[in-house]
């Protein structure tokens, strides 16, 4: 299952965004409304949103133009990647991509909530940095 978020332009240099995304604690400010729990751990974080189960994510590959979060659960195989492209010295284009391997039943249950989550994250980032 693959999902795509919309492209947004952030008023921060790409290097500053990469530094922000390297620190698990910084993800708390990016979480959408309805956050009920957030706990940063050494290589990632756990969070719970209203009406959803707790999710644990770990930091994956972080390069100069891409930051990846992976599922910390061995029973769920997915990643949430953010592609970053410098528009100028002070602006960066960002877009999220979700890729997961789920059986058809799970896919049917999680596809819409995941798309809504990505949209909410994008809206929050845009509100903070646009």
CA distance 23 to 84: 17
- What pTM did the predictor assign? 0.89
**How confident is the model at residue 51, as a pLDDT?**
79
Q: 17 near 8, Cβ under 8 Å?
A: no
* Long-range Cβ contacts of 69-78 (<8 Å, 24+ apart): 69/44, 71/100, 72/44, 72/46, 76/100, 76/102, 77/101, 78/102
Indicate if the pLDDT at residue 130 is higher than 90: no
Q: What is the DSSP letter of 27?
A: G
73-107 confidence digits (pLDDT tens) = 888 889 999 999 999 999 999 999 999 999 899 88
The number of domains in the chain is 1
> Which tokens go with 65?
């133009």
Q: What is the pLDDT of residues 53-79, one digit of tens each?
A: 889 999 999 999 999 999 998 888 899
- What local confidence, expressed as pLDDT, does residue 126 receive? 87
CATH number (domain holding residue 84):
3.30.530.20
Residue 128 has pLDDT above 90, yes or no: no
Note down the domain range covering 85: 2-129
Q: Name the H helices within the chain.
A: 14-21, 104-129
């Amino acid at each position: 299952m693959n999902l795509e978020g919309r492209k947004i332009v952030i008023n921060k240099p790409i290097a500053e965004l990469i530094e922000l995304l390297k620190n698990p604690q910084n993800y708390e400010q990016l979480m959408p409304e309805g956050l009920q729990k957030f706990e940063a751990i050494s290589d990632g974080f756990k969070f719970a949103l209203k009406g959803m189960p707790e999710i644990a994510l770990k930091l994956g590959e972080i390069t100069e133009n891409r930051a990846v979060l992976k599922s910390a659960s061995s029973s769920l195989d997915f990643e949430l990647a953010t592609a970053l492209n410098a528009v100028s010295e002070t602006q960066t284009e960002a877009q999220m991509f979700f890729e997961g391997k789920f059986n058809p039943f799970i896919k049917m249950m999680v596809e819409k909530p995941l798309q809504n989550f990505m949209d909410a994250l994008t809206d929050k980032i845009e509100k903070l940095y646009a």
